[in-house]
Amino acid sequence: MARPVEDRAEAILAAARELLLRGGGQDATVDAVAARAGVGKGTVFLYWPTKTRLHDAVVRLEIAALLASLADELRSGVTRLSVGHVVRREIAAVLEVPSLAPQVPGDPGSPVDSDEFPGLALHRIISIMQAHGLVRGVPTAEIVSAFKIVMAGSVIVGLKGPEMREVLLNAAEHLVNATYDRADADPADIAAAMPEVLDALEDAIDQLVEVAAPDRPTSAVLRPRERPATTGV
């Protein structure tokens, strides 16, 4: 039985994600994606005209999911708002999906623009944190560059030695905290910055979803989860 039109895009993306990310991508042909999704090959091309476009969509939506998870953890208090904590959380998230690792930190061969992650939201988040006195007074671009360098290096090392991941995560967090986070940050300032930081993350998620499938002929919901009505904490 053919799938309803409203969930074909989700089925295609789920199949592509499984083959491209979880399966390593070796067998991720359009035919294979279509077969796994239970649709015809032409239906895949209806939504994404090329395999590259489909791959780009999978990567962007995976990044959106990582940002959504980070936003939810910040909102609930599981992750504290500091550059070091954010670096730790994102390194750990990327290491959970090894096939995504070469693309997320800004690898030159990535189909995703190197400024999209973490640069898509990070410049804005760092500016917000600086405005509230949560990080040291250094150029935002320097902190973003350091974030990328620490994240990229940590991912490379973490993939080679999974038994060292906890030590690696602690080292990355402590290094960034000591360099850029202000140890004397007022909890009230952290609370004041949080809604703005969450808005920045949610806006980044919206942008990634929009770029992933701008012309999709479907009513399928591709956002990782519904955007919270308010981002206050």
What is the CB neighbour count within 10 angstroms for residue 158?
Answer: 22
Q: Which residues pair with 135 in a beta bridge?
A: 181
pLDDT of residue 101: 67
- Given a cut of 70, whether residue 153 has pLDDT beyond it is yes
User: Which residue ranges make up each domain of the chain?
Assistant: 5-212
Q: Which amino acid is at 200?
A: A
pLDDT at 108: 46
Contact indicator for 201, 125 with CB cutoff of 8 Å = yes
pLDDT at 51 over 80: yes
Yes or no: say if 152 and 105 are a contact pair by the CB < 8 Å rule: yes
The least confident of 13-17, 51-55, 97-101, 199-203 is 97-101
Q: What is the pLDDT of residue 156?
A: 86
More confident residue, 111 or 132: 132
pLDDT level of residue 50 (50, 70, 90 thresholds): confident
Select the more confidently predicted residue: 90 or 190. Answer: 190
More confident residue, 9 or 131: 131
Residue 153 · residue 124 · CB < 8 Å: no
Give the pLDDT score at 219: 64
Q: pTM for the complete prediction?
A: 0.83
Percentage of the chain exceeding pLDDT 90: 34
Least confident of 33-42, 201-210, 222-231: 222-231
Q: Which CATH architecture has domain 5-212?
A: Orthogonal Bundle (1.10)
Q: Render pLDDT for 159-188 as a digit per residue (tens, 0 to 9).
A: 888 888 899 999 999 999 999 999 899 999
Distance (Å, rounded) from C-alpha 15 to C-alpha 11?
A: 6
Asked if residue 104 has pLDDT above 60, the reply is no
Name the token pair of 27: 């067998």
pLDDT band for position 21 (50/70/90)? confident
Of 63, 66, 86, 89, the closest CA to residue 190 belongs to 86
Rounded to an integer, the average pLDDT of 118-138 is 87
Residues 151 and 117: beta-carbon distance below 8 Å: no
Q: What are phi and psi of 158, to 5 degrees?
A: -65, -35
Average pLDDT in the chain? 83
